[in-house]
Amino acid sequence: EQLVPRLEAITQNKKDTRIFVRGDRAIAYGQVMEMMGTVNLAGFTRVALVTQLPQGDGAGGNK
């Protein structure tokens, strides 16, 4: 319930600001998607999910 007002304050209510969401292994995928939906419904249309490759994985994968 505090997320949208905080985003509006941080972005000065500029709805075209890109919002990056970084998930956490402890948070269920559904919760992350729900939060992204809330941000989108608030009018922020540039919402992106940030991912991190597992350690040891390089670009291009194993050959």
pLDDT per position as a tens digit, 2-19: 999 999 999 999 999 999
Q: Strand, helix or coil at 36?
A: helix
Supply the pLDDT for residue 61.
56
Supply the pLDDT for residue 2.
92
Supply the pLDDT for residue 44.
95
Q: Is residue 33 part of a domain?
A: yes
Supply the pLDDT for residue 47.
93
User: Looking at the 3D structure of the chain, how many domains does it have?
Assistant: 1
Q: Is residue 56 part of a domain?
A: no
Domain that holds residue 21: 3-50
20: Cβ contacts below 8 Å, ≥ 6 apart:
48, 49, 50
Q: Is residue 34 part of a domain?
A: yes
Supply the pLDDT for residue 53.
73
pLDDT per position as a tens digit, 17-54: 999 998 888 889 899 899 999 999 999 999 998 887 77
Name the CA dihedral angle for 20, 22, 28, 34, rounded to a multiple of 10 degrees.
-10
CATH at 24: 3.30.420.270
CB 7 within 8 A of CB 42: yes
